[in-house]
Structure 1
Amino acid sequence: MIKEDFITLDKLCSLYKVKMSFFSDLNEIGLIDILTIERTQCIHQDKIVDIEKMIRMHHDLNVNIEGIDIVFNLLQKIEDLQNELIAVKNRLY
């Protein structure tokens, strides 16, 4: 685990102007994984794109945490179905 691959929640809170409880709620429902590195709560940088989407949904569209969970689960199902469709098409050719 390389420390440079992680971003602190404090930094994200100040950058995106959200409360720490927003990230805690996302962690509780399983949308993000918060890790503690040297007593500091962090998120892997690979999740930043998803976090930005969640913040935009929450701020711009007033979607609550449960709604964000539903949207991300549906997006994952769509992606899985698209991958399955590609696999089936590849078998046909």
Structure 2
Amino acid sequence: METRYIKITEFCENEKIETSFLLELNREGLLRLEKQEEVEYIDQNDLPQIEMFARWHYELGVNLEGIDAMRHMLERMKEMQRQIQILEKKLQL
């Protein structure tokens, strides 16, 4: 599967968010930007997560530390749900 990249300037213009927000996410390790010839790009596969982070930040006023904490909690919840499904399958045997 081929990875498609989108210029952060185009993405930010379309989504009405600041490029500095994506650069800050990158600096904090919450997003990985690709840089080619002094132009920065985002992986198309990261769009749902970026849109979620942008909603948290712009609509709810969550800062970068809060975004990181919420992301971590969501990951833990998904892992717990996966473990519950495994245990439920074992109980059905």
TM-score range relative to shorter protein = 0.7 to 0.9
In structure 2, what is the equivalent of residue 45 of structure 1? 44
TM (normalized to structure 2)?
Answer: 0.87
What is the Cα-based RMSD across aligned positions, in Å?
1.7
Q: How does 1:1-93 map to 2 (within 5 A)?
A: 2=2, 5-93=4-92
- Percent of aligned pairs with the same residue? 29
Deviates more, 1:42-51 or 1:31-40: 31-40
TM (normalized to structure 1)?
Answer: 0.87
- Aligned-residue offset at 1:57: 1.0
Name the amino acid aligned to 2:20: S
Gaps of 5+ in 1: none
Local SS of the residue matching 2:55: helix
Runs of 4+ in structure 1 off by over 3 angstroms are none
Local SS of the residue matching 1:43: strand
Whole-Å Cα distance in 1 between the matches of residues 37 and 87 of structure 2? 46
Gaps of 5+ in 2: none
> Residues 2 and 37 (structure 1 numbering): CA distance in 2 closer, same or farther, change over 3 Å?
farther
Whole-Å Cα distance in 2 between the matches of residues 26 and 65 of structure 1? 7
Deviations 1:60-84 (A, max 9, x none): 1111111111111110110011011
